Structure 1
Amino acid sequence: MRRLILPACLVCVSLALLSCNGLNAIGSQNISGKPTVYAVVNKAPDPALLGCFLRSRPSEYNRPNKYEFCLVKEGDQYAMFYYVMDGKTLATFKDWTGAVISGDSVTANYDGSRYFVKDGEVWQMTTSGGPFRMLRSN
């Protein structure tokens, strides 16, 4: 019986971590390859937008959507790797997406979400709500 306690605990901890909203869906392997689509740049992005971010869990929603993005620079071009999971249906999108960069904001072509810099922090506005704070990840 004692031999089963440690494996059972490890399984429970693993399941708890997998269900955690804070785990990153975008890994370094996703953004290490060559982007398949590049952003349209109206004005070079604020350096605070470069890197990877995930949305903090909004407390007003029971099953919120999950959003993550990485804005990367390759040569003189920028690209956005994007992840969205619908909190109700669990449908996901995870791939490079077109984007429009306008200085302190970047808008994802996939769903129209806009990510912007305000007071040194990155925030998100979806087509139906916000602003929601984004946390730096990776």
Structure 2
Amino acid sequence: MHKIFLTWGTLVVMTQLSLAEGIKQQDVSPAQMQKQNKQIVQLAATEINKTLPQAIDNYTTLMKVEGKETTLLYTYEINTGAKSDEAVQKEDKSRMKEAVTYGICQSAKRFLDAKINISYLYISAKSKMKLFRFDVSQKDCINNK
């Protein structure tokens, strides 16, 4: 997991430096920043996907990362064991949301500061049913301090 976040940070810095080379920061329009962020998202998704699937823990596997505009969408599969999908959704959603938001705010700060959002989609390894989706932006981290 640490390697993924290190890759993120490196990609963000390298891409922003190369795209902004020769352009003064005050001369960059919001449209140019948006375009740069879309490119960063695509590059990051491509690089991260090279190492997938990747086991995160005994229950969770990161399956793929997609670049959607200025959002990185991470898709995880969860082995829920004997618990039903419905029980997991009902019992674990708020705990998961808090942990995921905190983790993203800590590990993806550079992306969030650059106005790149992070979404985590969790699906059941058994049924392939969507269990949760958590969308995190810079605003969510400010609210969680």
State if a TM-score over 0.5 links the two structures. Answer: no
Larger Rg: 1
How does the TM-score come out when normalised to structure 1? 0.25
How does the TM-score come out when normalised to structure 2? 0.25
Q: Which has the higher strand share?
A: 1
Structure with greater contact order relative to length (CA < 8 Å, sep ≥ 6): 1
